[in-house]
Each structure stands twice: as C-alpha cells, then as structure tokens.
Amino acid sequence: MSEYFLANQNPVIYTAIILLILFIFRNVLKRSANRIGNKGDLHVTRIRLMFKYINILVTIIAIFALALTWGYDTSQLAVIFSSVFAIIGVAMFAIWSMLSNITAGIILFFSFPYKIGSKIRIHDKEMPVEAVIEDIRAFHLHLRTMEGELITYPNNLILQKAVSLIEREYHPDEGKDAL
C-alpha cells in the first residue's frame, strides 16, 4: 500500500484536494438553493429537486477533474465526453420535450412568482384554466380546478402562457361556518 502511495503521491493529494473543493462547492450551491427556496417560500420538494440537479452537476465536474488528475490525456477525454454527449444529444432529441420541461422546472424554481396553494388563471385560447396549484414537479404542475378536476400542466407551457394570480393562497373551506 505504501508503495502505491509513493508511486502515486501527487495524484492522490490532488484527488483529495479536488474532492474537498467540490464538496465545498456543492455545499455552497445547496445552501444558495436552500436560501433562495426559503426566501421565496418554496415547497421543500422543489428545493430537493434542485439538490438533485446540483449533485449531477458536481458529479460530472468531479469525473472530468479526476480523470485529468490521474493522467488521462485531454484529447482522450474530449473523445470520451464528445461521444457520451453525442449519444445523450441523440437521445434527448428523441425526448426533447422532457428536457425542455426539466429546464423550465429549473427556471420556475428561481423565478416563478406563484406558490403551492396559489389560485391562478392561465390565459390560453384553446383551454383557459382557472385552478389552484397543488404541486410543482420537475416536468409539470398539478392544478386542481374548482370542480375538483386534476390537471397536469407542462412546465414549458406555463412559461409560454400568460398567468394571472387570483389569490395568494386559496383555501376552499374559507368563509364556511364551523359545525
């Protein structure tokens, strides 16, 4: 074991430094997302979804940095990463709407002015919707109409349509006398 460490002393030290830096970077990003989520009074599931995205980003950076540290040539890494991204690109082209919904979900996390419990109106010519936001997911919103109908509305469409806020937090039993 000591022979291995002596033969690879620099890469082992660099690996420890890279992992420490990425650990700190990940924690800073998670704290920032948590702070933004708490400041915007966002639901905890939306904050956890951002944590998953942050973990994926840090993992990709870690793989690339550690491969460079352990002596992989940049041209080899370029071929590997371009091949992987080409395959992912072809796969994503086949499912581009899912990718656009995930991207829209990230945008909604940081800039959507409505929260779970808000009563909204979506101005759409073909299908105007007036409902309460029950949940905001990675791909879609769960909206509950006044008739009790559950609508799943794609995140990418909510960014393309005009949306009006009717009530900040809607409570269907408000104003009823207690029995």
Number of folded domains in the chain? 2
Q: Which residues contact 167 (CB under 8 A, 6 or more apart)?
A: 118, 119
Range of the domain at 12: 2-94
Is residue 120 classed as helix, strand or coil in its secondary structure? Answer: strand
Same domain, 30 and 80: yes
Residue 170 pLDDT = 59
Spatial neighbors of 120 by CB under 8 A, at least 6 apart, are: 114, 129, 130, 131, 132, 133, 143, 163, 164, 165, 166
Give yes or no: residues 9 and 73 share one domain.
yes
pLDDT at 49: 85
- Say yes or no: 163 and 130 in one domain: yes
Are residue 148 and residue 76 in the same domain, yes or no?
A: no
CB 56 within 8 A of CB 115: no
Residues 84 and 146 in one domain: no
74-94 helix and 44-69 helix, angle to the nearest 10 degrees:
150
pLDDT score for 142: 93
C-beta separation of 155 from 105 below 8 A: yes
* 90 in the same domain as 43: yes
Q: Are residues 11 and 90 located together in one domain of the fold?
A: yes
Is the Cβ–Cβ distance between 18 and 62 less than 8 Å?
yes
Q: What is the DSSP letter of 127?
A: -
Residue 103 is assigned to a structural domain of this protein: no
Same domain for 118 and 77: no
Question: Same structural domain for residues 19 and 84?
Answer: yes
Eight-state DSSP code of residue 146: T
Same domain, 86 and 144: no
Phi, psi of 167 (to 5 degrees): -140, 145
Q: Phi and psi for 164 in degrees, rounded to 5?
A: -110, 140
Let me know whether 12 and 76 are in one domain.
yes
Whether residues 8 and 89 fall in one domain: yes
Tokens of 99: 């990718």
Return the CATH number at 142: 2.30.30.60
Residue 138 lies in a domain: yes
Shortest CA distance to 170 belongs to which of 126, 133, 127?
133
Q: Going by C-beta distance under 8 Å and a sequence separation of 6 or more, which residues neighbour residue 131? A: 119, 120, 122, 143, 144, 145, 146, 151
The verdict on residue 173 lying in a domain is no
Per-residue pLDDT of the chain (179 residues; tens, 9 = 90+): 677 777 778 888 899 999 999 999 999 999 998 898 888 777 788 888 889 989 998 998 898 888 888 887 778 777 877 888 788 777 767 677 777 888 888 888 777 788 888 899 999 888 889 999 998 888 889 999 999 999 999 988 888 899 998 887 655 555 444 44
52 is a domain residue: yes
pLDDT at 143: 94
pLDDT value at residue 89: 75
Residue 101 lies inside a defined structural domain of this protein: no
What is the predicted pLDDT for the residue at 173? 55
